[in-house]
Amino acid sequence: METDTPAATVDALVGVCIDATAPALMFSGQGSQSPGMGSDLLGDPLAAEIFACASDMFHRDIAALVTEGPSEALHDTRAAQAAIACLSLSLYRLLREGGLSASAVLGFSLGQVSALYAAEMLTMEETFAFLAKRAELMADAAQETPGAMCALLGADEVAAQGLCDRAAHGDVLVIANYNCPGQIVVSGTLPAIERAEAAWTAAGKRCSRLATAGAFHSPLMGSAAMRLAAYLSQVGFRDPKMPLICNTDARPLDAQSAAQRLCAHLTSPVRFEQSVASLCRAGAQHFVEVGFGGVLVALVKRIDKASIRNRVEGRESLDAYLAAYRSQRSPATPTHPLAAPVPFAAPAACSEGDVQERKPL
């Protein structure tokens, strides 16, 4: 990667060079699924190929799933993850085809799988094969060891960890997601989550049980991580073509450590806040959520209010964003490409309620 441009800076924590004139792309996680999402892209051959590949790997028609429903089908872990990844990868291919060049990629849990494809660490077929296995193992582990997740509002790490220590009573109860300042998600057994909710509300604070199928990003996913390790030992990862910031440690992912860190991802917390902050320190100024719902841009707003935030979730926003991107990067444009927000005015960030209820996995 070029390092001699004025807009490029190096951050020791991230360890990569970030071009501040190019956007960092964020891929949505589970919880962002919605009936009909991506249906307006299916007429494009690039998107149709993505959906067809996913259908082959998941052994079900993903295009029919999002266009015909029923909506309850998207509550299933396997179906939801396939549909969300299809939308994200379709949008990414169309953005790239439209001339967009990204400075870095990151995903929120499930979204990290989409980022593997964007960074060219896996092919399209390898990405969906991995995703299908990951979704299967997570669903199996959730059935074997039932659990739940809860978003704590107004929480910092000390308070959240203290709550886990007090409410665990010998059960699993851990921090699972560092979403943004003032919002941390905990994950654990059902009794432990119930005790945590009771203690948090008794202290006059708010919390929200998440609509998840299990206690993801906790030791209760240990069996899934062990089985995934065996699968990933046969996968050949390639070096990323652009920085991919890993959820587990907010540092760049590489081919050599990919298998180990992707397995740890199932039982380790998602450090989204730290990942975005690291990118900002490295020079990133512009973040684009590639997927449905707007959850991630809302989180970024709380992490770095000075950042430029946009979201692309369907044909209309895709076309508008690309038109604005091309206009601002044109030599005829007198201002720095990131001197102001992209003018198409991306939809407003989701409400606090959306952030807590639709937390990605």
Of the listed 109, 208, 218, 307, which one is catalytic? 109
Alpha carbon of residue 3 to chain centroid:
27
Q: Is 169 annotated in the active site?
A: no
CA distance 48 to 51: 5
Q: Is 109 a catalytic residue?
A: yes
Chain-centre distance for alpha carbon 61: 23
One of 90, 208, 217, 218 is an active-site residue; which one?
217
Residues with catalytic function: 109, 217
